[in-house]
Amino acid sequence: MEFGIFSVGDVTTDPTTGRTPTERERIKAMVAIALKAEEVGLDVFATGEHHNPPFVPSSPTTMLGWIAARTERLTLSTSTTLITTNDPVKIAEDYAMLQHLADGRVDLMMGRGNTGPVYPWFGQDIREGINLAIENYALLHRLWREDVVNWEGKFRTPLQGFTSTPRPLDDVPPFVWHGSIRSPEIAEQAAYYGDGFFHNNIFWPADHTRRMVEFYRTRFAHYGHGRPEQAIVGLGGQVFMRKNSQDAVREFRPYFDNAPVYGHGPSLEDFTRDTPLTVGSPQQVIERTLSFREVAGDYQRQLFLMDHAGLPLKTVLEQLDILGEEVVPVLREEFAKGRPADVPDAPSHAARVARARERAAAEAAEATAAPATIAVTAPEKEAAR
């Protein structure tokens, strides 16, 4: 099982000091956080994509390419790539390029985005969000798997004899997660292609998460990709930790109360009761995260949101030390207990290349054996006439 962090890249005033970081400071902080994630033994760093204030990560591949050059092991991902307002041709090219530069340490999460004004900025209509996600991903899926593509759809100009370059590394495209909080159509899309489904459950109660994940697992099996338990699931979460829970709550409360996403709404106590947000001791985070298996089954990826709401970089780096040293090692051990042997690991490029080569070898062997079978049976058919 993989553990990592994701960032939405918000530029938010620190409510305890009144200071707002510059965009440059926030971008540099995200890089420092990614490097720290590798240092403390995490598996994944994922960045959001936003094109409106107060967010800075408008170019995920630029940031991830820079991080790739400074890391060796970390999987670089998105949270999310906007499949609705980006051209799927450009996504195919950009992420294949990043895949080569990062030696395969790349996957991406597709999402619609829910900021209404962004759609017309890129020539689209938010009311077509689901249809855009379905059509654009269908094209992207082909661009990564077919050397020459002829295509015509509703939302972009047709393609005639088009080849996306560079081709995916080792002829194996980056693994795709489809991220959704509330849309069963996106869970259906993930199931149809046999891709991963990432439920960013940071704002929703456990029952909603259970329904979404169970729906995806059922449809994954319906399309013949394996049993429901073999579907690829990722979850989001939020944590803030100190040695004792009272200190954690006291320190985090002003950030929660003034956060642009959930500030001035439900209380911290209500939010921690009803959603996966955990503010407390490392042991409380461990216990709460382990309970996610009761909701989602055995899953493959757990990402935490830790650098939001104006928290200073020093505090975030301290949080990552606690996560890497005290929390994740226990989670790895506990999640491994009782995990069925046929539940797949999180997809890696190396493992997917190996499977692709095994399939190719099996198909070649079958093709070679077919003429021999015909040669043996032909005289028998002739004699029977």
What pLDDT score does 377 carry? 44
- Express each pLDDT in 198-211 by its tens digit: 998 777 788 999 99
- Residue 372, domain member (yes or no): no
Q: Rounded to whole angstroms, what are the CA distances from 45 to 27, 74, 159, 255?
A: 14, 7, 34, 23
Which residues on neighbouring strands pair with residue 241, listed in sequence order? 280
CA pair distance 154, 220, nearest whole angstrom: 27
Q: What is the H or E stretch that residue 46 is in?
A: strand 44-47
The whole model's pTM is what? 0.92
- Residue 55, domain member (yes or no): yes
What pLDDT score does 23 carry? 97
Query: The dihedral of CA 104, 110, 114, 117: what is its sign?
Result: positive
* Identity of the residue numbered 184: P
- Residue 363, domain member (yes or no): no
201: containing domain: 2-347
What are 59's two structure tokens?
């170019």
CA pair distance 63, 27, nearest whole angstrom: 8
- Residue 384, domain member (yes or no): no
Other CB atoms within a 10 A radius of the CB of residue 18 amount to 8
> What CATH number has the domain bearing residue 210?
3.20.20.30
Extract the residue ranges of the chain whose pLDDT is less than 70: 370-385
- Residue 375, domain member (yes or no): no
What pLDDT score does 260 carry? 78
What pLDDT score does 371 carry? 59
* Identity of the residue numbered 316: V
- Per the structure, the count of domains in the chain is 1
- Express each pLDDT in 285-334 by its tens digit: 999 999 999 999 999 999 999 999 999 999 999 999 999 999 999 999 99
Each residue of 24-59: b (16+ CB within 10 Å) or e? eebbebbeebbebbbeeebbbbbbbbbbeeebbbee
What pLDDT score does 314 carry? 98
Query: The dihedral of CA 197, 121, 65, 44: what is its sign?
Result: negative
